[in-house]
Chains A and B, each alone.
Chain A
Amino acid sequence: METKKDSIIDQLTQKPWDPAQVKIDNSHEGRTFNLHVGKLGLRYLMIVSTIMFCLFIVTYGDRMVYDDWVKMPEPFLLWINTFVLVISSIIFVRIQIASKKNQFKKAKRDLILVGFLALIFLIGQFLVWQNMVDKGYYVYGSPANAYFYLFTALHGLHLLGGLVYWVMTIRKVWNINNIIIRKAKHTIELCSIYWHFLLAVWIVLFGLMLFT
């Protein structure tokens, strides 16, 4: 593996036909980043998802300035849900530490806990919806309501997707053996990165709705 990576500009200004360059290039490993493809794949998906949420936020900002914008109350339950999400992120940090130390028993227990918390969060969000509908904040009321339902729904769907990956993680960790021990660790790492990402997205969305 190369010790020092050329910057992207350096790479793009190479003359691949130049005999001196040919010699350097012949020892190239082929990879661009010293990263596992899984991690890179997760980053890719997080970028796509971030772009999507950013675009929503841009339209939110654009739509907010019109005078039919009526602010929506933030039920207390939302704070609890946020807290649940924070807790599960913290637990994921613990899981990662445990898996690094190969304490898979601990990791297993915490993984179950995280799944449980995710379900609580989803149920909690659903209760918030019901609460809002009962109070008469329908989706077609003010655009603020529409955005609230939209954001929570999309975030919830992301979490559901995360749960699918969580199931895959569980399967790997439960059937852990010598060969896939690395894979299990890797999967745990990806899963926890994704959970932190979802927490970050939620905090941005929640903060946005809170302060506007």
Chain B
Amino acid sequence: MFVVLLVLIVILGSVVFHMVSPWWWSEIASNWVGMDDTIILTFWITGAVFVAIGLFMAYCIWKFRYQKDKRAEYEPENSKLEWTLTILTTIGVIALLAPGLIVWNNFVTVPKGAYEIEVVGQQWGWMYRLPGKDGVLGTTSIKNIDDDNPFGLNTDDPYSLDDVLVDADDLHILVDRPLKLNLRALDVLHDFYVPQFRAKMDMVPGTITYYWFTPIKTGEYEILCAEYCGTGHYAMLGYVYVDEQKEYDEWVNEQMTFEEVLASNGKSDLIKIALNKKNDL
């Protein structure tokens, strides 16, 4: 009968572990409280099912243990019971799914006022691009990438010259402003993930993916790459600083625009072409 004890210990032990575990998520720093809430809801429902099934099973094992002169009941099926359980389960599943889908709908619908930043992943580091004064990110192509143009911006795109290029692993963003991250990878899959923001999305070479969130707390947050990207995957780290407007502006002003990058590399001819294009517009 140790097995009954074992089942009880495993069931109750799991519950106790859950309650005392110091390993739990860090305080959320974005608007995705809905995700945490859905997890908690899922915990309650699934936890109740887990405990109920476990305790019922422990009871059965103890109560109906083998006795030589006893016979088991002969009951091939019980449609009523089975359908009741099916319907109850369906209700439980709907209760889980509905809030999940609502949160997901929010997650994939970027609000109108969101500003954009591009995150570029490559083996094994991060780069960022801000839209600059015109508020629009210039278009890019992998083919354009070279030492002078690490982001592969199209020089004939009028929106590209004022883009701010950040060739570093760290990024600053504004607190309390919805932010849409445009995600781009140059070589293999990556994933821009900050645990406190909860959100993540793979970056896929050949296409641009996105997600959005609103940081709600200033501070310094570590970036982890969450999609396996080769030998250096574990070292693909960086920092996001959530700033107030003033600190953010200071940081932006320290960065170089695409125009400045080209100028510093002595590519004034390219700038000229780009400016002409811009005037044509």
Contact = CB atoms under 8 A, between A and B. Distances in A.
Interface of A: 15, 17
B30 to A, nearest CB: 34
Contacts of B76: 15, 17
A15 B76 CA distance: 9
A17 to B, nearest CB: 5
Closest 3 CB pairs of A and B: A17-B76, A15-B76, A15-B77
A20 to B, nearest CB: 14
Where chain B touches its partner, the secondary structure class is loop
A67 B8 CA distance: 61
3 contacts: A15-B76, A15-B77, A17-B76
A173 to B, nearest CB: 53
Contacts of A15: 76-77
Interface size class of B (residues with CB under 8 A): under 10
B75 to A, nearest CB: 10
Interface string B72-105: 0000110000000000000000000000000000
Interface in B38-90: 76-77
Nearest to B76: A17
A17 B78 CA distance: 13
A15 B77 CA distance: 10
A52 B77 CA distance: 41
A67 to B, nearest CB: 12
A145 to B, nearest CB: 20
Nearest to A16: B76
Nearest to A15: B76
A28 to B, nearest CB: 19
Contacts of B77: 15
A172 B77 CA distance: 53
A17 B76 CA distance: 7
A114 B18 CA distance: 71
B139 to A, nearest CB: 15
A119 B77 CA distance: 60
Contacts of A17: 76
Interface in B230-280: none
A207 B76 CA distance: 55
A140 to B, nearest CB: 17
B217 to A, nearest CB: 42
Nearest to B74: A17
A25 B55 CA distance: 39
A17 B75 CA distance: 10
A88 to B, nearest CB: 43
A94 to B, nearest CB: 52
Nearest to B75: A17
Nearest to B206: A66
A88 B210 CA distance: 55
Interface in B213-227: none
A17 B77 CA distance: 10
A60 B76 CA distance: 50
B73 to A, nearest CB: 13
A33 B270 CA distance: 74
A71 to B, nearest CB: 22
A96 B76 CA distance: 51
A80 to B, nearest CB: 39
B204 to A, nearest CB: 14
Nearest to A18: B76
A144 to B, nearest CB: 18
A17 B74 CA distance: 11
A90 B37 CA distance: 67
A15 B79 CA distance: 12
A116 to B, nearest CB: 47
Nearest to B77: A15
A196 B243 CA distance: 70
A200 to B, nearest CB: 35
B182 to A, nearest CB: 20
